[in-house]
Chains A and B, each alone.
Chain A
């Protein structure tokens, strides 16, 4: 029996095991929305196509499965661009299906035509314009496989309207033929041994654990490996929770707003055991001053990451879960033969030192008992309310950094944010997608800023309509807080276009407008009672407006472009450093004049 290309899209998605797609119908994709009525998966109707792709990302983040979105041609497809770039930066497996004008109209500047494969080429792992209906099943199958395998990423499949309408014989097979795409899964045995030898001889080794471990679902292997060799672990913004924060070997987060001990661990180490991290500039600070004493072991599934920013002593290309398994097996072998001892580095003094740093340099928070609510206090209280079971999703800015710093994460995938691209507006749709992925029993809490929230809050309607009970928390400080912080610190407090009235929109009225419960916390003393009320609501979305101290800044902070040696823990330290630099400059200028 012959079926249409559109039916082939539905059948392909069913064969791939897709349970939910996030989408928005329109002209060129219309043929697909007809057989969708009978399709074996759910469709979440978003309010803007950017919402569809961020939901697909949130779903993928939370479940490890491929997130799928489907939209029409032209403006709908271009509305995916931000999300595709986001997924590309953070290696999130997403399949985006876009409608396209009929093949006969392509290139004619037809209504709602855009060169979508051309536009998205640099921000997808791969993409394809499907020319025939016979190709649909193969294109979707390959796209799905490419998205989730190797270094995961977004793949876009663009399908013209006439191709969706054409009749074909349905054919599906599992065979994948991609001669130019063969990700390396197993690490090189010799390199694995070399890595262990290098670790054995290190005095101050540290595991630099990135988001690649989360993508590879390698939390257990990481814990075993770190425990066997007693290696301290820092977890990057994308890797938070992959070793639980409460684990004794966890040092904290490195980077521009990392924990003090996390930053210092990387600066003082003599061996970076880099697992699925990419020496991002927000972690390294000034690259030539980063981890100056360290040799480097780098394990990554993407060979192009190895040696990209930092020269590597022992490179291992492979899937993190598999390579850690290989490392553990070598240790097992040695143990059986009674040869384990020489492979164990003596890290006791180093660990003690890091523990001291942790103890002596905690996150600083000056919260009065009554009155003003500090944003960090709000975030800690959110965690105290929803706890270790919940998934936390953030936008981008100060609230993101506080949520990354102050919540003790306990598993990979529990913390979802936009790391590489820094996409404001990510939280609301990503949290909705994550909630669809994790289901009823796991609370999903969006921790958003007031700036971010206003970029995408229209998706609350989708959460209401499709009965997706997410807790939306707005850390409302009436500012584009991170921008304001930079203006304060780098532009002499000359604030430019960063004020957002805390009352506009009135979030309680907004909650009302969407027909969901809304709460507002004005003072710290109200926090617990209001959160208890919000916690009791589990059957519909909730919106909470936290009116927080507008002047609070994120610390610790490594000044942009500075060395990680210059990590500053308070605004006072910051201003003291700035004054010293200015004085030194003046003195130098004075000498010049002489």
Chain B
């Protein structure tokens, strides 16, 4: 059974590291659902969050193949029940004076923000899990979605533990 798995990957912040990872997924036929990459609190290290749709056996292979990349420092599979996962979505929706207040109401229900207003459109910023963002988009659809963009998932485990716990990485950083 295929299901989604969220991998948190710490990598050295070196040129081409994203290509290496994306290329490894492509050539081994693994499917990336979403990918988000950005800096961490250590400028030498970037953090990738990759969501893959795969079965357990293949997931193990993906993690092992990722680990073989010299610039990959650490990989953690995040348990969905024990992690905070977020995506961000921006939606530009048609809004005339008659519909504007309805749309704002919907946005408030989803704890989304209006970030841009013009004569006949509103841009809404929302964050949350994929299901929530899909529900929001569905409710906005009847008003006319002009364009929409969604980020890949970013995620952290809940509680006090950190991905760098017990790894060499942290020791190096302390130096």
Q: Is the pair B73, A307 in contact by a Cβ cutoff of 8 Å?
A: no
Q: Is the pair A180, B16 in contact by a Cβ cutoff of 8 Å?
A: no
8 A-B residue pairs with CB within 8 Å:
A118-B16, A121-B16, A179-B12, A179-B172, A180-B71, A180-B73, A304-B68, A307-B57
Q: Is the pair B68, A302 in contact by a Cβ cutoff of 8 Å?
A: yes
Q: B15: which A residues are within 8 A, CB to CB?
A: 129
**Interface code B129-162, partner A: CB below 8 Å = 1, 0 otherwise?**
0000000000000000000000000000000000
Which of A121, A122, A180 has the largest number of chain B CB atoms within 10 A? Answer: A180
Q: Is the pair B19, A121 in contact by a Cβ cutoff of 8 Å?
A: yes
Q: A179: which B residues are within 8 A, CB to CB?
A: 12, 73, 168-169, 172
A146 to B68, CA, bound (A): 11
Q: A121: which B residues are within 8 A, CB to CB?
A: 16, 19-20, 23
CB distance from A421 to the nearest CB of B (A): 15
Q: Is the pair A304, B65 in contact by a Cβ cutoff of 8 Å?
A: yes
A269 to B66, CA, bound (A): 33
Task: Identify which of A122, A125, A303 contacts B23 (C-beta below 8 A).
Answer: A122
274-314 of chain A: CB within 8 A of chain B: 302-304, 307-308
Q: Is the pair A181, B16 in contact by a Cβ cutoff of 8 Å?
A: no
What is the chain A residue whose CB lies nearest that of B71? Answer: A180
**Interface code B69-81, partner A: CB below 8 Å = 1, 0 otherwise?**
1111100000000
Q: Is the pair A303, B67 in contact by a Cβ cutoff of 8 Å?
A: yes
Q: B60: which A residues are within 8 A, CB to CB?
A: 307
Q: B20: which A residues are within 8 A, CB to CB?
A: 121
Q: A181: which B residues are within 8 A, CB to CB?
A: 70
A126 at the interface (CB under 8 A from B): yes
Q: When A121-B23, A307-B57 are in contact, do A180 and B11 touch as well, CB less than 8 Å?
A: yes
A536 at the interface (CB under 8 A from B): no
Q: Is the pair A126, B61 in contact by a Cβ cutoff of 8 Å?
A: no
35-66 of chain B: CB within 8 A of chain A: 57, 60-61, 64-65
Q: Is the pair A122, B27 in contact by a Cβ cutoff of 8 Å?
A: yes
Q: Name B residues whose Cβ lies closer than 8 Å to a Cβ of A.
A: 11-12, 15-16, 19-20, 23-24, 27, 57, 60-61, 64-65, 67-73, 168-169, 172
A504 at the interface (CB under 8 A from B): no
A178 at the interface (CB under 8 A from B): yes
Given A307-B57, A308-B61, 14 additional A-B pairs, CB 8 A: A118-B16, A118-B19, A121-B19, A126-B70, A129-B16, A146-B70, A179-B12, A180-B11, A180-B71, A182-B168, A304-B61, A304-B64, A304-B68, A307-B61
A324 to B73, CA, bound (A): 29
A125 to B20, CA, bound (A): 11
A540 at the interface (CB under 8 A from B): no
Closest 8 CB pairs of A and B: A304-B64, A126-B70, A180-B73, A181-B70, A122-B27, A180-B72, A303-B64, A180-B71
A125 to B68, CA, bound (A): 8
What is the chain A residue whose CB lies nearest that of B168? Answer: A179
Q: Name A residues whose Cβ lies closer than 8 Å to a Cβ of B.
A: 117-118, 121-122, 125-126, 129, 146, 178-182, 302-304, 307-308
What is the chain B residue whose CB lies nearest that of A153? Answer: B68
Please report whether the interface of chain B is mostly helix, strand, loop or mixed according to DSSP: helix
A181 to B68, CA, bound (A): 8
CB distance from B113 to the nearest CB of A (A): 38
Q: When A121-B16, A121-B19 are in contact, do A180 and B70 touch as well, CB less than 8 Å?
A: yes
A178 to B72, CA, bound (A): 10
A540 to B68, CA, bound (A): 43
A125 to B73, CA, bound (A): 16
CB distance from B169 to the nearest CB of A (A): 6
CB distance from B151 to the nearest CB of A (A): 26
A303 to B15, CA, bound (A): 26
Q: A304: which B residues are within 8 A, CB to CB?
A: 61, 64-65, 67-68
CB distance from A124 to the nearest CB of B (A): 10
What is the chain A residue whose CB lies nearest that of B17? Answer: A180
Q: B70: which A residues are within 8 A, CB to CB?
A: 125-126, 146, 178, 180-181
CB distance from A287 to the nearest CB of B (A): 13
A118 to B20, CA, bound (A): 9
Which of B27, B60, B70, B168 has the largest number of chain A CB atoms within 10 A? Answer: B70
Q: A178: which B residues are within 8 A, CB to CB?
A: 70
Q: B27: which A residues are within 8 A, CB to CB?
A: 122
Q: A303: which B residues are within 8 A, CB to CB?
A: 64, 67
Q: B68: which A residues are within 8 A, CB to CB?
A: 302, 304
CB distance from B141 to the nearest CB of A (A): 40
A180 to B60, CA, bound (A): 18
Q: B12: which A residues are within 8 A, CB to CB?
A: 179-180
What is the chain B residue whose CB lies nearest that of A182? Answer: B168
Q: B11: which A residues are within 8 A, CB to CB?
A: 180
A322 to B64, CA, bound (A): 22
Q: A308: which B residues are within 8 A, CB to CB?
A: 61
A122 to B28, CA, bound (A): 10
CB distance from A279 to the nearest CB of B (A): 13
Which of A178, A179, A303, A307 has the largest number of chain B CB atoms within 10 A? Answer: A179
What is the chain B residue whose CB lies nearest that of A118? Answer: B19
What is the chain B residue whose CB lies nearest that of A304? Answer: B64
A304 to B61, CA, bound (A): 6
Q: Is the pair B172, A180 in contact by a Cβ cutoff of 8 Å?
A: no
What is the chain A residue whose CB lies nearest that of B68? Answer: A304
CB distance from A474 to the nearest CB of B (A): 36
CB distance from B79 to the nearest CB of A (A): 21
A308 to B71, CA, bound (A): 22
CB distance from A494 to the nearest CB of B (A): 33
A302 to B67, CA, bound (A): 10
Q: B65: which A residues are within 8 A, CB to CB?
A: 304
What is the chain A residue whose CB lies nearest that of B65? Answer: A304
Q: B71: which A residues are within 8 A, CB to CB?
A: 180
A180 to B169, CA, bound (A): 9
CB distance from A178 to the nearest CB of B (A): 6
A125 to B24, CA, bound (A): 12
A413 to B24, CA, bound (A): 31
Q: B19: which A residues are within 8 A, CB to CB?
A: 118, 121
What is the chain A residue whose CB lies nearest that of B73? Answer: A180
What is the chain B residue whose CB lies nearest that of A309? Answer: B61
What is the chain A residue whose CB lies nearest that of B66? Answer: A304
CB distance from A14 to the nearest CB of B (A): 25
Q: Is the pair B69, A180 in contact by a Cβ cutoff of 8 Å?
A: yes
